[in-house]
């Protein structure tokens, strides 16, 4: 990484003039506190305030530059950025303390509604003395310690001898040896019997010195990392499309950039040998036909070492406006039932897809990443219309029709728990069931359970038919979906190889339709 030569920033001509005016006015003050002298202090204070504001703006710009550089290359900048933030912290602390003292002096002179920028009793000799030197609440000692502390900390970060001398002198708390200063400490020398106009000006000068020292340290930190020349080890061209699958009738849209782009020096973009006029690298071409396409070209960027050129290519596909709509568990839709529906569009996220029932009674609602369709009329086709959000507009992706049928009749089962506690369903069909499992069962259930659908029905009632020793049929009525006590007593009398039948099962499905099942369940005792 290249290292720029550290440059000194001597005080500006304006700063020199302000410092000279400040010294002259202090001398005039020693002779007489006239209105002209007070006005002079006001002029110097205003000039210092403007200078301080300008320095603050320059420093804030440096902090923003540090933050931007840190986000690009934290490994390189992080250590120096942390030091810059520390400088800001200690500088703001002393600056704000001086601001607080100016306010207190103004209030002492003009009352609680005082305006620091428009003090009426500028000639008041007691206000600064009270604020700074009062035996119990005087702030002069605190300011003395704050200045010394700041000077020590800030000088730790300044290596240039000239700047160290300037900053050290600006924040010196030594009392000059001359007539009038003997026996006085720093705060008494500076603020005892000092008119408000002069005290405010001195504090404003302190604030100006803080921003000057802060700026010098920032300048040093910038030179340490060469923030104006953040280099990278690779510069490449990239094409960033909004999507690689474009629906016919829309536009393929992509941003073409070069890594580490300088906003003040945008690269030139060439596609198929022709320079394109692009704002921020955006490129757009109509997608009028389906198929696979490729855009290729190169970028050129002028640098200090000549022209940098990088080639690029990007593939994309144009697809027809076609959605895929399928019933998740079946090929038809069943009336009165919540039929899961899966809808997808190539290249379009599921949350950008919408669907509605174009005709046919019922509802279609979103459920997670899919939809639930619940038709109402058997024998009437349901048409689902699909749209997708394409660049802020809704585009039709097709319409899909489904036949609506009534749910088929379920099959009755005897449900019981096996020795492992798993639920089992006895389906009959010549296979025996143990008497123990039969006696442990509470009743029967009914469901459509064919490996594709698993739809439960509520059993209302059923009959069991037993045969006595004479071959006579003995029917018994259930207790709703449960075996009745009479049925259970017959179970206790059944021997191995005996059989009975469960029939006349009545059940209600999720469609609300009550039906009597035509099938009978033959039960053989093992």
Distances (CA, A) of 130 to 288, 459, 479, 480: 83, 95, 99, 97
Which residues are CB-contacts of 476 (< 8 A; sequence separation ≥ 6)? 463, 464, 465, 466, 484, 486, 487, 490
pLDDT tens digits along 470-514: 889 999 999 999 999 999 999 999 999 899 999 999 999 999 999
Average pLDDT of span 167-176 = 89
The pLDDT of residue 390: 79
pLDDT of residue 477: 94
Instruction: Name which residue leads in pLDDT, 458 or 281.
Output: 458
Most confident of 290-304, 342-356, 402-416: 402-416
Averaged pLDDT, 442-467: 88
Q: Does residue 316 surpass a pLDDT of 50?
A: yes
Q: What is the CATH number of domain 324-405?
A: 2.60.40.60
The pTM assigned to this predicted structure is: 0.41
Helix (H, G, I), strand (E, B) or coil at 427: coil
Mean pLDDT, range 399-411, rounded to an integer: 90
The reported pLDDT for the residue numbered 462 is 96
Confidence label for 429 from pLDDT (cuts 50, 70 and 90): confident
Dihedral class, residue 239 (left if φ above 0, else alpha if ψ from -120 to 50, else beta) = beta
Q: Which residue has the higher pLDDT, 362 or 230?
A: 362
Q: Is the pLDDT of residue 1 over 80?
A: no
How far apart CA 145 and CA 444 sit, in angstroms, is 91
Helices within 111-195 (DSSP H only): 127-133, 140-155, 161-170, 186-191
384 close to 402: Cβ distance less than 8 angstroms:
yes
> pLDDT-derived band of residue 258, with 50, 70 and 90 as boundaries?
low
pLDDT of 233 reads 45
Residue 14's pLDDT band (cuts 50, 70, 90): low
**Per-domain residue ranges of the chain:** 13-229, 237-319, 324-405, 411-524
Residue 372: pLDDT band (50, 70, 90) is very high
Q: Report how far Cα 100 is from the mean position of its chain's Cα atoms.
A: 38
For residues 306 and 518, the model is more confident at 518
Average pLDDT estimate for 254-279: 74
Q: Specify the higher pLDDT residue, 105 or 247.
A: 105
* Mean of per-residue pLDDT scores for the chain: 82
Can you list the positions of beta strands (E) in 163-217? none
Bridge partners (DSSP) of residue 521 are: 502
Distance CA 148, CA 452 (A): 84
Distance, CA of 13 to CA of 92 (rounded, Å): 25
Cα 142 from Cα 135, distance rounded (Å): 13
What is the model's pLDDT at position 15?
Answer: 64
pLDDT at 232: 46
Task: Indicate whether 178 pLDDT > 90.
Answer: no
62 contacts: CB under 8 Å, gap ≥ 6: 84, 215, 218, 219, 222
Class at the top of the CATH hierarchy for domain 237-319: mainly beta
DSSP SS3 for 186: helix
265 versus 457: which is more confidently predicted?
457
Span 307-321, average pLDDT: 77
pLDDT attached to residue 230: 39
Structure confidence at residue 454 as a pLDDT band (50, 70, 90): confident
**pLDDT tens figures, 73-111:** 787 788 888 999 999 999 999 999 999 999 999 999 899
Mean per-residue pLDDT, 130-134 = 92
pLDDT at 6 over 80: no
More confident residue, 308 or 340: 340
Mean pLDDT of 216-242: 66
**Cα 427 from chain centroid (whole Å):** 56
The pLDDT confidence band at residue 2, using thresholds 50, 70 and 90, is very low
Give residue 386's pLDDT band: very low, low, confident or very high (50, 70, 90): very high
**CA atoms of 372 and 62, how far apart (whole Å):** 58
**CATH fold match for the domains 237-319 and 324-405:** yes
**pLDDT for residue 277 is more than 90:** no
Asked if the model's pLDDT at residue 18 lies above 70, the reply is no
């Amino acid at each position: 990484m290249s290292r720029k030569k550290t440059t000194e920033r001597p005080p500006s001509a304006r700063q020199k003039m302000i410092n000279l005016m400040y010294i002259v006015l202090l001398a005039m003050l020693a002779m007489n506190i006239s209105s002209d002298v007070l006005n002079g202090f006001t002029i110097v204070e205003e000039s210092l305030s403007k200078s301080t504001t300008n320095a603050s703006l320059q420093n804030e710009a440096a902090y923003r530059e540090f933050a931007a550089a840190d986000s690009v290359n934290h490994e390189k900048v992080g250590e120096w950025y942390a030091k810059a933030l520390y400088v800001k912290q200690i500088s703001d602390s002393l600056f704000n303390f001086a601001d607080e003292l100016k306010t207190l002096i103004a209030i002492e002179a003009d009352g609680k509604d005082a305006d620091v920028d428009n003090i009426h009793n500028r000639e008041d000799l007691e206000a600064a003395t009270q604020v700074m030197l009062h035996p119990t609440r005087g702030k002069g000692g605190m300011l003395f310690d704050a200045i010394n502390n700041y000077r020590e900390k800030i000088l730790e970060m300044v290596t240039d001898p000239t700047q160290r001398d300037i900053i050290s002198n600006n924040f010196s708390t030594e009392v000059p040896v001359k007539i009038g200063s003997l026996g006085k400490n720093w705060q008494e020398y500076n603020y005892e019997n000092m008119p408000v106009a002069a005290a405010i000006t001195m504090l404003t000068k302190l604030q100006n010195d803080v921003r000057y020292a802060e700026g010098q340290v920032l300048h040093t930190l910038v030179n340490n990392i060469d923030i104006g020349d953040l280099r990278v080890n690779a510069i490449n061209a990239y094409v960033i499309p909004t999507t690689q699958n474009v629906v016919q009738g829309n536009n393929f849209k992509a941003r073409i950039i070069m890594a580490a782009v300088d906003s003040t020096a945008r690269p030139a973009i060439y596609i198929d040998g022709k320079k394109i006029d692009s704002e921020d690298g955006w490129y757009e071409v109509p997608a009028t036909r389906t198929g696979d396409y490729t855009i290729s070209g190169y970028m050129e960027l002028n640098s200090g070492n000549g022209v940098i050129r990088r080639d690029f290519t990007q593939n994309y596909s144009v697809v027809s406006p076609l959605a895929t709509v399928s019933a998740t568990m079946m090929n038809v839709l069943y009336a009165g039932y919540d039929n899961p529906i899966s809808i997808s569009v190539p290249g379009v996220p599921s949350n950008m897809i919408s669907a509605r029932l174009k005709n046919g009674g019922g509802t279609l609602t979103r459920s997670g990443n899919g939809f639930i369709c619940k038709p109402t009329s058997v024998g009437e086709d349901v048409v689902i219309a699909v749209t997708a959000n394409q660049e802020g507009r809704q585009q039709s992706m097709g319409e899909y029709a489904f036949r609506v049928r009534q749910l088929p009749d379920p099959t009755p089962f005897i449900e019981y728990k096996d020795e492992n506690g798993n639920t089992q369903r006895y389906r009959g069909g010549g296979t025996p069931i143990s008497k123990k499992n039969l006696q442990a069962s509470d009743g029967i259930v009914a469901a459509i359970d064919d490996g594709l659908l698993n739809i439960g029905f509520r059993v209302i009632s059923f009959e069991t038919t037993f045969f006595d020793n004479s071959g006579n049929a003995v029917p018994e009525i259930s207790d709703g979906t449960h075996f009745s006590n009479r049925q259970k007593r017959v179970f206790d009398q059944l021997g191995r190889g005996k059989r009975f039948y469960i029939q006349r099962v009545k059940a209600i499905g999720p469609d609300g339709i009550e039906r009597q099942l035509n099938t009978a369940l033959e039960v053989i005792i093992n």
